[in-house]
Amino acid sequence: MKCLKRHISHHTFLALAIVGGVCITLLLGGDPSGRSMSSITELFTGGLLLPRIVLESGQWNGALFDIVVTVPEESIHLQNGQPLLVTVELTNFGRPGETNVTLTYLIAGDNGRLALIEHEKRVVETQQSFLKTLALPGVAPGQYHLYVELLYSNASAIGTSQFRVID
């Protein structure tokens, strides 16, 4: 079982556990404005977040984003020096309206060494899908993990994927 614990704001923590291909997300504390929010468990599979409990409670009145990161089939196995093509889908399940977001792309090998860090700013209202090309010059052959962090309004969401660089 993998677990990721993330401090979102002074009042909110996110714990993520992956058990048998099912992700369990636990949001603890209050929303970023400090109002009270009860503990919430949300289940998602295949990268699709279902934050119904938060929205139906009526206690969260800001943006609430999910990010889905997909490496297309043609980029799962890359030749050394070939760029990585990534599909990124951003969805705001919370209150609609323009939200400034920062995306951080991080690629790390199985050995934990960073191969790339890149930042990008965007404005998202409700939903945005796009293709991102990441240059990977001089990356050694091996298995790599892509992490894309979406930062917005004192909160964050993380999408992940994997690919392999071959000789």
| Domain ranges for the chain | 1-58, 62-167
Arithmetic mean of pLDDT, 69-82: 94
Beta strands, E only, the chain: 2-7, 12-19, 22-29, 40-44, 65-70, 77-79, 84-92, 99-109, 114-124, 127-134, 142-152, 155-166
What is the rounded CA–CA span in Å between residue 130 and residue 115? 22
What is the rounded CA–CA span in Å between residue 26 and residue 43? 9
Question: pLDDT tens digits, residue range 12-44?
Answer: 444 444 433 444 444 444 444 433 333 333 333
pLDDT for position 126: 92
Nearest CA to 69 out of 28, 22, 104, 34 is that of 104
pLDDT for position 60: 55
Question: pLDDT tens digits, residue range 38-61?
Answer: 333 333 333 344 444 444 445 555
Question: pLDDT tens digits, residue range 108-167?
Answer: 998 888 999 999 999 999 999 999 999 998 899 999 999 999 999 889 999 999 999 998
What is the rounded CA–CA span in Å between residue 133 and residue 75? 10
Sheet arrangement for strand 142-152: 77-79, 155-166, 142-152, 99-109, 114-124
Please, are residues 142 and 165 in contact by the beta-carbon 8 Å criterion?
A: yes
pLDDT for position 137: 85
CATH 2.60.40.3880 holds for 62-167:
yes
